[in-house]
C-alpha cells in the first residue's frame, strides 16, 4: 500500500488522525465528512495514496465501485434523503481539497442548499465528433 506521510487522508487511514468510521475494508475506509454538505455525507477513501483518479489502480477502483451501492443504500435509509450525489473532485480546478483521491456520498433533500444543474457549454461548430475521436484514441493507447 502506498502512503504519503503529509497526506491527511493517509494519516486517517493509518489511525494517526481520528475519524468517524462507518466501514473499513482491506482496500478502503469510509467515514463521515468532517464538514458535511448535508448530515450523512460520507467519504470513501482508498487506503493506497493516489492524488488523482487517473493514478488509482484498477483493483482499488473496482473495490470502491463495489462499495458504492451498499453505502448509498445505507445513507439513504438512515438520513431519509430523497436522492444522493456521488461526487469525485479530481484536481484543484475541480474543487479537490485533499490531494488523495476520494468519493463523496452526499444525501440530498428537496429543500437543501445545494443548487444544480451546472452550467453547460455548446460543442464547437464541427460538433462532438473530433473530441470523441481524440478521447477514443487516448483510451486505445492505454
Rounded to an integer, what distance in angstroms lies between the CA atom of residue 75 and that of residue 23? Answer: 12
Confirm if 79 and 107 have CB atoms less than 8 A apart. Answer: yes
- Is residue 61 very low, low, confident or very high in pLDDT (cuts 50, 70, 90)? very high
Q: Which residues pair with 21 in a beta bridge?
A: 31
> What's the pLDDT score for residue 74?
97
- Helix (H) or strand (E) holding 79, with range, is helix 58-79
Residue 32 is given by DSSP the state E
Rounded to an integer, what distance in angstroms lies between the CA atom of residue 99 and that of residue 90? Answer: 9
Confirm if 102 and 88 have CB atoms less than 8 A apart. Answer: yes
Q: Which CATH number fits domain 8-140: 3.40.50.150, 3.30.428.10, 3.90.1170.50, 3.90.1210.10?
A: 3.30.428.10
- Is residue 51 very low, low, confident or very high in pLDDT (cuts 50, 70, 90)? very high
- pLDDT tens-digit map of 72-111: 999 999 999 999 999 999 999 999 999 999 999 999 999 9
**% the chain with pLDDT above 70:** 100
Mean of the per-residue pLDDT values of the chain: 94
Catalytically annotated residue among 41, 49, 100, 102: 102
102 annotated active-site? yes
Amino acid at each position: 500500500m502506498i502512503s504519503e506521510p503529509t497526506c491527511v487522508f493517509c494519516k486517517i487511514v493509518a489511525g494517526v488522525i481520528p475519524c468517524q468510521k462507518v466501514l473499513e475494508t482491506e482496500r478502503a475506509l469510509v467515514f463521515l465528512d468532517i464538514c458535511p454538505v448535508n448530515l450523512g455525507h460520507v467519504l470513501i477513501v482508498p487506503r493506497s495514496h493516489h492524488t488523482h483518479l487517473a493514478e488509482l489502480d484498477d483493483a482499488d477502483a473496482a473495490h470502491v465501485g463495489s462499495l458504492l451501492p451498499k453505502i448509498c443504500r445505507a445513507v439513504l435509509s438512515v438520513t431519509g434523503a430523497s436522492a444522493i450525489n456521488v461526487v469525485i473532485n479530481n484536481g484543484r480546478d475541480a474543487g479537490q481539497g485533499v490531494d488523495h483521491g476520494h468519493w463523496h456520498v452526499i444525501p440530498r433533500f428537496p429543500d437543501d442548499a445545494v443548487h444544480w444543474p451546472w452550467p453547460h457549454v455548446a460543442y464547437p461548430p464541427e460538433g462532438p465528433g473530433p473530441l470523441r475521436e481524440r478521447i477514443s484514441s487516448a483510451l486505445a493507447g492505454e
